[in-house]
């Protein structure tokens, strides 16, 4: 059980740190909508949204943040139960990824409006980038911060002859590491551990649990 708990905590911390470092670097070094082509299939494209994954934006920021916070609490409670039951390490990893990703975007919504100036598109005279300011002097209020996205993978474009999709980029969404963690964790659970979500709780003794861990 201890191995699962330590692994989960370290993974959540690693994802949070990597996600926030990437977002802060982009926000403080790039103007809004600035685009850097690293390879033909991997670009850094700075955009912001109100908090939905992969740039979607159709729910108010405050409502979405509160919903996400509630989801993190529920998933966190469930994660602790799974660790105590010594469920497979892979399942613990997947849950940890989902929780870490949600927490990463919550940080943006809660704090970025309070500690950053607003990012602006570049113009012919200067390229405005956000700056870190004293707490509470940023561009917004608590729960009003915008989520930073930057990862863009234009793998290919659909042929012009194809109806509807012709000429469009396959998976043209811009996202961040937190979105990736949520997606990878959720998809892996569906593919490999979906049976654990529906099976009844096993009745085991403390000795059996200790042995299985």
What are the residue numbers of the active site? 149, 179
Phi, psi of 175 (to 5 degrees): -140, -175
201 within 8 A of 85, measured Cβ to Cβ: yes
CA 57 – CA 136 distance, rounded (Å): 25
Q: How far apart are CA 15 and CA 17, in angstroms?
A: 6
Contact 95, 85 (CB under 8 A): no
Question: How far lies 103's CA from each of 34, 50, 88, 151, 199, in Å?
Answer: 26, 15, 23, 18, 27
For residue 11, CA distances in Å to 157, 185, 197 come to: 35, 12, 21
- DSSP label at 70? H
At 41 the three-state DSSP class reads: coil
- Whether 128 contacts 120, CB under 8 Å: yes
> What is the C-alpha radius of gyration for the chain, rounded to an integer number of angstroms?
20
């Amino acid at each position: 059980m201890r191995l699962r708990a330590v692994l989960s905590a370290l993974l959540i911390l690693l994802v949070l740190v990597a996600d926030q470092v990437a977002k802060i670097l982009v926000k403080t070094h790039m103007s809004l909508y600035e685009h850097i082509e690293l390879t033909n299939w991997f670009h850094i494209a700075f955009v912001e949204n109100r908090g939905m994954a992969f740039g979607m934006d159709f729910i108010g920021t405050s409502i979405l943040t509160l919903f996400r916070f509630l989801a993190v609490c529920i998933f966190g409670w469930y994660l602790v139960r799974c660790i105590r039951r010594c469920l497979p390490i892979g399942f613990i990893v997947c849950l940890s990824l989902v929780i870490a990703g949600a927490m990463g975007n919550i940080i943006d919504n809660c704090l970025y409006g309070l500690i950053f100036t607003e990012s602006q598109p570049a113009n012919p005279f200067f390229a405005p980038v956000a700056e870190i300011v004293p707490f509470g002097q940023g561009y917004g209020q608590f729960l009003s911060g915008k989520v930073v996205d930057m990862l863009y993978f234009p793998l290919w474009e659909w042929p012009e002859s194809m109806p509807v999709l012709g000429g469009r980029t396959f998976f043209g969404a811009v996202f961040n590491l937190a979105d990736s963690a949520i997606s990878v964790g959720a998809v892996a659970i569906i593919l490999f551990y979906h049976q654990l979500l529906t099976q009844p709780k096993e009745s085991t003794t403390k000795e059996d649990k200790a042995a299985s861990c």
